[in-house]
Amino acid sequence: MDRGVMIGLEIHLQVNTVKTKMFCRCSSDYRSALPNTNICPVCLGLPGSLPVPNKAVIRKAIMLAIALGSRVVDRIVFVRKHYFYPDLPKGYQISQHRGPGMAPIAVGGGLEIEGEGEPRIIRIRRLGIEEDPARITYPYGDPLKSPYSLIDYNRSGVPLIEVVTEPDIRSSREARVFLEKLLTLADHLGITNPDLEGAFRVDVNISLENQERVEVKNIGSIRDIEKAINYEIARQRGIVAGGGKIKRETRHWDPLRGATFVSRHKEYEEEYRYFPDPDLPPIAVSAEVVKEIEDGMPELPWHMAERYVREYSLSRYAARVLVSRRALAELFERTVKIYGDPDKVADLLINDFLGVVNSRGGNFQLVRATPESIAKLLSLMDKGVISIKIAKMILERVVIGGEDPEEIVAREGLLVISSDKELEELAEKVIRENPKAVEDARRNPKAINYLVGQVMKLTRGRADPQKISEIIRRKIGLER
Ligand code: ADP
Ligand code: ZN
Ligand code: MG
């Protein structure tokens, strides 16, 4: 932590859990559709079209505000934020802002993060809704080297919830912890599916003591946010150490070079010419509606973690890891219901299951395991039916392939033969067919290994040799 550093984040959470866009009924799924197929006059900004707000998104934004302890306004006002760029056909983005006659959905509140010392509160400045602009792609990656650009308006009008923090963050590590906690919250509240590419984008504001702040725009991964912060702190320190002053400017992050660079144009607040959108009448939010939304909210992840410690006697660490994704928490609780033993379930999920998921980019959409299949896998290991090695080998196929562990083990002959009767019959057969070896074994106990080997061969390795040895010894009269 660094007292001289101040960092404030503007986080754009994409509400990718609703079916339609923010102000029209076009599908919000722009990832799988062909470019410019989910479009209409509203999201193309054609003259005469009229936006209609998506109520489900407003409810989700209010939910997030409640979870963050923010104060929800009683009158939602949408504003026009003007700028000129091909990704914005109307010439303005429908957004929210503070100012005369304007107010975002909620102000205030905060999120507690575990700092390096005492937990600290990162205060929330405001929370609002806006629409995503279109997606521009440059055929050669770099805009300056591309002879043309392609615009996909499928993303135009996809809902975003913007969360703006106070400049309370002191380091790249704190920024990461804060963002992870916010994303976990958004996942639990059904606002954002973090597995989807472009699920969030962050503008990072960084300043040193008594210096102007620099805004680094539009970073899409937590790792890059950490790197950009570290880069900026070092860059700004260098300038100050050399007797220079930091200019107030907007920069961009280049993940390939690992550096920030100045963008082509500066944006001043005044240039956006915010004013209430006359096409969208203010929406009244009554205390009853807020109460109703609050009553319908799912358990918050930090309450869930506390309950795991209380109810399942898990460590705080284990509880926190398990609630980090809603899908993981659900898998945990449902597996415990079937199998019992929360410690063993938590251990398998945290150490083995997550290992598999993380080796595939931490993408939970790839997970096909069910509580039943995880419970079966645990039971197979318990009974010594399969070895740890085999459990690890089939884990991938259970987690990603969605296969039933019992079926894999049975089909591929991995199951230990536990029936004594079956083993005794095999032993008798081997004794009958190898009279000479039996004679040898009676004289020299070491020679029994040959007979054990013959039985193991018949079981294709699915038996405990110690147990076979005991059976044979008994049968040839070496033991009673
Ligand atoms: P608003 O639009 O409400 O005026 P700003 O645009 O001033 O808010 O702030 C945007 C972001 O910049 C916020 O996340 C805020 O915390 C951050 N910020 C403001 N001042 C500083 C500063 N001195 N150093 C770092 N970040 C700052
Ligand atoms: Zn549309
Ligand atoms: Mg701003």
CA-CA distance, 91 to 81, in Å (whole number)? 9
Looking at the chain, the whole-number percentage of residues with pLDDT higher than 90 is: 79
**Residue nearest (by alpha carbon) to ligand 1 atom 4:** 98
Centre of ligand 2 from the C-alpha of residue 40, in Å: 4
Indicate which ligand has the atom closest to the C-alpha of 51: 2
Listed residue (135, 150, 182, 136) closest to 12, CA to CA? 182
Listed residue (157, 161, 160) closest to 52, CA to CA? 157
Residues 325-372: tens digit of each pLDDT: 999 999 999 999 999 999 999 999 999 999 999 999 999 999 999 999
With 60 as the cut, is the pLDDT of residue 84 above it?
yes
Name the residue of 126, 164, 182 whose CB sits within 8 Å of the most ligand 1 atoms, as the mutation to test its pocket: 164
For ligand 1, which residues put their CB under 6 angstroms from it?
6-10, 98, 125-126, 164-167, 205-207, 213
CA-CA distance, 51 to 169, in Å (whole number)? 37
**Residue nearest (by alpha carbon) to ligand 1 atom 6:** 269
In this prediction, residue 264 has a pLDDT band, given cuts at 50, 70 and 90, of low
Least confident among 41-55, 152-166, 218-232, 432-446: 432-446
- At 114 the pLDDT is 86
**Dihedral sign, CA of 41, 42, 48, 52?**
positive
- At 410 the pLDDT is 83
In ligand 1, the atom with minimum distance to the C-alpha of 165 is 14
**Residue nearest (by alpha carbon) to ligand 1 atom 15:** 8
For 388, the token pair is 């740890």
Listed residue (306, 294, 301, 329) closest to 183, CA to CA? 301
Centre of ligand 3 from the C-alpha of residue 9, in Å: 10
Task: Give the DSSP H or E segment for 218.
Answer: strand 214-219
Centre of ligand 1 from the C-alpha of residue 167, in Å: 6
**Residue nearest (by alpha carbon) to ligand 1 atom 17:** 8
Indicate which ligand has the atom closest to the C-alpha of 165: 1
Centre of ligand 2 from the C-alpha of residue 18, in Å: 14
Centre of ligand 2 from the C-alpha of residue 463, in Å: 64
Name the residue of 79, 125, 246, 266 whose CB sits within 8 Å of the most ligand 1 atoms, as the mutation to test its pocket: 125
Centre of ligand 3 from the C-alpha of residue 169, in Å: 16
CA-CA distance, 79 to 87, in Å (whole number)? 18
Chain center to CA of 86: 31
Find the mean pLDDT for residues 394-411: 92
Indicate which ligand has the atom closest to the C-alpha of 98: 1
In this prediction, residue 3 has a pLDDT band, given cuts at 50, 70 and 90, of low
With 90 as the cut, is the pLDDT of residue 238 above it?
yes
Listed residue (145, 26, 41, 149) closest to 87, CA to CA? 149
Residues 161-180: tens digit of each pLDDT: 999 999 999 999 999 999 99
In ligand 1, the atom with minimum distance to the C-alpha of 206 is 25
In ligand 1, the atom with minimum distance to the C-alpha of 215 is 12
**Dihedral sign, CA of 448, 454, 457, 462?**
negative
Residues 312-324: tens digit of each pLDDT: 999 999 999 999 9
Q: Which residue has the higher pLDDT, 397 or 114?
A: 397
**Dihedral sign, CA of 317, 176, 137, 142?**
negative
Tokens 């802002």 -> residue: 97
In ligand 1, the atom with minimum distance to the C-alpha of 164 is 14
Centre of ligand 3 from the C-alpha of residue 267, in Å: 10
Q: How far is CA 295 from CA 1, 189, 298, in A?
A: 38, 13, 9
In ligand 1, the atom with minimum distance to the C-alpha of 205 is 26
Centre of ligand 1 from the C-alpha of residue 398, in Å: 47
In ligand 1, the atom with minimum distance to the C-alpha of 168 is 16
Listed residue (423, 413, 355) closest to 385, CA to CA? 413
Average pLDDT, the chain: 92
For 48, the token pair is 């005469």
- Residue 113: beta bridge partners? 120
Find the mean pLDDT for residues 67-94: 95
Listed residue (403, 388, 305) closest to 348, CA to CA? 388
